[in-house]
Amino acid sequence: MAGGAREVLTLQLGHFAGFVGAHWWNQQDAALGQATDSKEPLGELCPDVLYRTGRTLHGQETYTPRLILMDLKGSLSSLKEEGGLYRDKQLDAAIAWQGKLTTHKEELYPKNPYLQDFLSAEGVLSSDGVWRVKSIPNGKGSPPLTTATTPKPLIPTEASIRVWSDFLRVHLHPRSICMIQKYNHDGEAGRLEAFGQGESVLKEPKYQEELEDRLHFYVEECDYLQGFQILCDLHDGFSGVGAKAAELLQDEYSGRGIITWGLLPGPYHRGEAQRNIYRLLNTAFGLVHLTAHSSLVCPLSLGGSLGLRPEPPVNFPYLHYDATLPFHCSAILATALDTVTVPYRLCSSPVSMVHLADMLSFCGKKVVTAGAIIPFPLAPGQSLPDSLMQFGGATPWTPLSACGEPSGTRCFAQSVVLRGIDRACHTSQLTPGTPPPSALHACTTGEEVLAQYLQQQQPGVMSSSRLLLTPCRVAPPYPHLFSSCGPPGMVLDGFPKGAAVESIPVFGALCSSSSLHQTLEALARDLTKLDLRRWASFMDAGVEHDDIAELLQELQSLAQCYQDGDSLVD
């Protein structure tokens, strides 16, 4: 571990969290692979915050995510639970029984063709059963994807993606994957559907001890652990798993930051009555319990609403995505996540998770909203002031927390990150004697431009802003959501028209917003309309009627924290 890194341990809980996490780690991996590129700005983001160094039993250095993920039986497809990096016969558990043995083998899942290409580029399995990884540049990141013949692009098709492991191109440590064998990923029976079921999983000594052992393994090797980020499904029983995990972290690691990203796939349909009711109940219980045990909670979804009434998915002007595909939705959310988490991953002057949470969550406002512009539009010849002025007075980013449009709402505090804009475009290059068309055009640095813009948009609001040269990586297996050109005339990453887009500028924000007042109250109203006698199966999973009454009270109390102004103050 490099000296001075403020380590973060990531927990991924649930299958959609796995989709978002797979894209997230692929983006980190792509950034590592570009670290030696002379055109890439060096030293802005510290990979040691998220990654750990290690060594196999054969002395080979590894660099793997500091990650614990939990999913259900049947969710890994061809990925082995122990990962594929530390393959060694000596790791197999010794069998003490000396009597007759009967071996039962499950049928192997066929490996996704994309992963077959990826593994052939990454290394080989030698005759002695040991995985030989190709040389890693500077001891970190993935090896270059080169072969003796002309390499073909490693691009998965949407039809080939069944589960998140079908497109994960990052090797995991054997301590990363923790499977919940008592519930099934596929089929209608044995599903982890309810909050109470999820809570009960981590009440079982087997799973609680397994999680605690993995936590201790990763935490004890950290020099300065700043905290934990939890990617947690909200719509199913993993909301209960996440709530118990956050409670465990709060009890055992008091004083560390716990930032929870509550994930919801979209969209949903009126015809699926039980699924929609369960989604509503799980989301409400998850938000309230996660808020109680986290430093900060942020729902992330491309849906338009957290409640029972379906709303159309959000629209991005320069993206074409299929909202019914988790592969697409998770890619967009991962891109936003990769941007808004920048403050606590910086090499220089980072903001700790605790300080970021404290800034955004004052007066009990521990739930925040997210928004992003993906990609940020900057036409050839434009400067950053030119582009920002085109937004006018409207809130520029697309909402990503299923809390409705942010226009007309009040922002109490915000953390904003703009990344991937070339330094030459940060300020206006006016000819001498030309009067600046706006206050932004008179600024002398890009940081000043961004700060001035936020002050104009939200006067008097506590704002923290960061401007990075480093773009967001969207190389394959990221889906083709945009062409090389976004808005008319804008070329992304300097690629000619028709070429693949490998990196994009992104504008992302976390905001403590009055929109949460209406969202949380609407959630409580939907709950009061439910006839719980019709949903006895949810209650049978470990939830009492008193728990529902307490939930409503907590939701309404949380909503009141955001009541102070439902519209902007002139």
What secondary structure does DSSP assign to 400-469, as a single string?
Answer: -BSS---TT--EEEEEEEEE---GGGSS--PPTTPPPSSTGGG-SSHHHHHHHHHHHHSTT-EEEEEEES
Measured distance CA(225)–CA(195) in Å, rounded: 29
Query: Do strands 7-13 and 225-233 pair parallel, antiparallel, or not at all (unpaired)?
Result: parallel
**DSSP string computed for 132-154:** EEPPPGGG-SPPP---SSPPPP-
Q: Residue-wise pLDDT tens for the chain (570 aa)?
A: 444 789 999 999 999 999 999 999 999 999 987 754 545 556 799 999 999 999 887 888 999 999 999 999 888 877 888 766 665 444 444 434 455 555 545 555 555 565 555 554 444 444 444 334 444 444 454 443 322 333 444 667 777 899 999 999 999 999 999 999 998 887 776 789 999 999 999 999 999 999 999 999 999 999 999 999 999 999 999 999 999 999 999 999 999 999 999 999 977 766 678 888 999 999 999 999 999 999 999 999 999 889 888 789 999 988 999 999 999 999 999 999 999 999 999 998 889 999 999 999 978 899 999 999 999 998 888 999 999 999 987 888 999 999 988 777 889 999 999 999 999 999 998 888 889 999 999 999 999 999 999 999 989 899 999 999 999 999 999 998 986 565 544 655 555 554 578 899 999 999 999 999 999 999 999 999 988 778 877 888 878 888 999 999 999 999 999 986 443 333
Residue-range domains of the chain with CATH: 7-81+164-370 (3.40.50.1440), 376-397+411-517 (no CATH)
Which residue, 450, 466, 452, 255, is CA-closest to 355? 255
Residue type, 491: V
**157: helix, strand or coil:** coil
Say how many C-beta atoms besides its own lie within 10 A of residue 548's C-beta: 19
Which pLDDT score, from 0 to 100, does residue 92 have? 43
Cis peptide before 110 (omega within 30 of 0): no
Task: Annotate 233-267 with b (16+ C-beta within 10 A) or e (fewer).
Answer: bbbbbbbbbbbbbbbbbbeebeebbbbbbbbbbbb
Indicate whether this model's pTM tops 0.85: yes
Which pLDDT score, from 0 to 100, does residue 55 have? 86
The CB-based long-range contact list for 533-536 (8 Å cut-off, 24+ gap) reads 535/274, 535/277, 535/278, 535/281
Q: Which residues make Cβ contacts (< 8 Å) with residue 395, sequence separation at least 6?
A: 371, 405, 406, 407, 457
Residue with tokens 């998965």: 156
Measured distance CA(527)–CA(284) in Å, rounded: 9
Which pLDDT score, from 0 to 100, does residue 101 have? 54
**535: helix, strand or coil:** helix
